[in-house]
């Protein structure tokens, strides 16, 4: 078999598996149900930093710069 034939057969097999898997997911998934949690836990504690706090550079905005601006504080 040629390399092109092997690659094509793998690509077709992956597409078929992907399409059947994508279609099967919602059919097997259980519907989300909101429930009350009776004995939920809490997380408590203190975070300590030793040394100087580093100065982080601003974050460059790449999308919607006309609304968000060019940069945002880190």
Residue 45: pLDDT band with limits 50, 70, 90: very high
Name the average pLDDT for the chain. 85
* Spatial contact of 53 and 74, defined as CB atoms under 8 Å apart: no
Residue ranges of alpha helices (H) inside 1-74 are 3-28, 65-68
State the pLDDT at residue 21. Answer: 66
Whether 57 contacts 74, CB under 8 Å: yes
- Write down the pTM of the prediction: 0.30
CA distance 74 to 64: 18
In the chain, where are the structural domains located?
1-32
């Amino acid at each position: 078999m040629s390399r092109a034939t092997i690659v094509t057969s793998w690509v077709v097999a992956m597409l078929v598996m992907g399409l059947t898997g994508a279609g099967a997911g919602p059919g097997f998934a259980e519907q989300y149900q909101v429930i009350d949690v009776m004995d939920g836990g809490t997380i408590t504690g203190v975070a300590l930093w030793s040394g100087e706090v580093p100065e982080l550079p601003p974050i460059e905005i790449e999308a919607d710069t006309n609304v968000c601006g060019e940069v945002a504080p880190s």
